[in-house]
């Protein structure tokens, strides 16, 4: 076999859908969680799951090939490697891969990538008939899985963000679209004199209240259940946008920054924390944002252009984590 044949084989393997879909279906069926101990026979499992026994056997065989499962004298069991796909593995993979969660459902929109490339628009509504966030609003189980996914996704980066920003400069901080409050709670715990206000949609805002209560922060926090497209709490020293703008096209990102600018007092800061094209963002993440949301990982000149109409000047750019930068905007006098 020549070099060209090897290259073709490698490209075919990269393009194949059997393996990624097998992993997603395995997680959706809960196979890594069900096949513990000495293992179980496929026919018994098929009855329990109400699936076709022949088709299930084909799936199990491929999972063995991948090393996710292993054969035993009594059937199939999850390998040590495959245990990373269990719900209790603590790595967030189950929420990301299951077809019944927001993450797994969203990634299926990649089958419509050609639509996004042709139009520049998100593929998610093209596939599902409505945008990602409206889908979450109509399906509480998707919203709950998305909140879990975001909490896990940010957990490793929060200590670096708390340490990498001089939060002592701000007496009051508004976390715009702050999720279930993990970042804001960490900032406030590190700075006992600071007060915080979190804004997010009602189900997520309820989770933030629970987070603040669990950390004894009720006296120093407020939570507003609402959208960042509506007027924001006014007069804070800093407005934080953590992984927010890249989820939106230019029109909506402009509206979000506009709300921050109109709420801020003179001398306040708008702190954008996310990947930056050409600095701390991957090409794969760019496609994720495009396909799911119609957004992208913007470059610095694009951030400057977004801020300028609102009197926001990009002052500093700081590398915070492997994947995120801090972009600090100051509000010029109007």
Query: Could you report the per-residue pLDDT of 261-289, keeping only the tens digit for each?
Result: 999 988 899 999 999 988 877 888 899 99
Cα–Cα dist 232/237, whole Å: 13
Residues 6+ apart with CB under 8 A from 289: 246, 247, 295, 296, 297
60 close to 34: Cβ distance less than 8 angstroms: no
Report domain 96-148's class.
Answer: mainly alpha
| Per-domain residue ranges of the chain | 3-89, 96-148, 152-331
246 is catalytic: yes
Mean pLDDT score of the chain? 93
Q: What is the mean pLDDT of residues 19-48?
A: 95
- Sheet of 221-225: strand order equals 221-225, 195-200, 172-176, 238-242, 269-274, 325-331, 312-319
Instruction: Please name the residue that has the structure tokens 């996914």.
Output: 149
Is residue 322 over pLDDT 90? no
pTM here is 0.86
Among the options 126, 139, 152, 246, which is catalytic?
Answer: 246
Please tell me the total number of residues recorded for the chain in this structure: 334
Query: Any idea which fold 3-89 has?
Result: Arc Repressor Mutant, subunit A (1.10.10)
Cα–Cα dist 289/296, whole Å: 5
Angle at 240 between CA 239 and CA 244, to 5 degrees: 125
Q: What is the CA radius of gyration of the chain?
A: 23
pLDDT digits (tens, 9 = 90+) for 58-67: 999 999 999 9
Is residue 196 over pLDDT 70? yes
301 close to 282: Cβ distance less than 8 angstroms: no
Tokens of 148: 């879990």
Tokens of 127: 């596939």
Was domain 152-331 assigned CATH 2.60.40.3080? no
Residues β-bridged to residue 242: 273
Dihedral of alpha carbons 302, 304, 310, 316, sign: positive
Angle at 254 between CA 249 and CA 259, to 5 degrees: 130
Is residue 188 over pLDDT 80? yes
């Amino acid at each position: 076999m020549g070099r060209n044949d090897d290259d073709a084989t490698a490209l075919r393997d990269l393009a194949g859908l059997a393996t990624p879909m097998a992993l997603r279906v395995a997680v959706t069926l809960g196979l890594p969680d069900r096949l513990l101990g000495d293992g179980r026979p496929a026919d018994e499992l098929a009855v329990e799951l109400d699936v076709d026994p022949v088709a299930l056997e084909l799936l199990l065989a491929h999972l063995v090939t991948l090393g996710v499962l292993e054969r035993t004298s009594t059937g199939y069991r999850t390998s040590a490697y495959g245990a990373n796909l269990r719900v209790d593995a603590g790595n967030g993979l189950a929420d990301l891969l299951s077809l019944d969660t927001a993450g797994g459902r969203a990634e299926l929109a990649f089958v419509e990538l050609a639509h996004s490339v042709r139009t520049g628009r998100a593929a998610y509504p093209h596939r599902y008939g409505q945008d990602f966030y409206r889908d979450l609003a109509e399906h509480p189980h998707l919203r709950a899985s998305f909140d879990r996914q975001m909490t896990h996704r940010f957990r490793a980066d929060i200590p670096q963000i708390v340490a990498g920003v001089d939060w002592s400069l701000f007496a009051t901080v508004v976390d715009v679209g702050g999720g279930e409050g993990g970042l804001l709670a960490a900032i406030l715990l590190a700075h006992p004199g600071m007060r915080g206000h979190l804004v997010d949609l009602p189900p997520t805002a309820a989770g933030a209240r629970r987070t603040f209560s669990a950390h004894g922060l009720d006296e120093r926090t407020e939570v507003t259940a609402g959208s960042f497209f509506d007027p924001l709490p006014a007069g804070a020293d800093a407005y934080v946008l953590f992984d927010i703008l890249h989820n939106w096209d230019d029109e909506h990102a402009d509206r979000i920054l506009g709300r921050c600018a109109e709420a801020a007092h003179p001398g306040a800061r708008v702190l954008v924390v996310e990947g930056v094209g050409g600095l701390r963002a991957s090409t794969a993440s760019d496609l994720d944002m495009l396909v799911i949301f119609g957004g992208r990982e913007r470059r610095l000149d694009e951030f400057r252009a977004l801020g300028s109409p609102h009197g926001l000047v990009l002052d500093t750019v700081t590398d915070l984590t492997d994947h995120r930068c801090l972009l600090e905007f100051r509000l010029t006098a109007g």
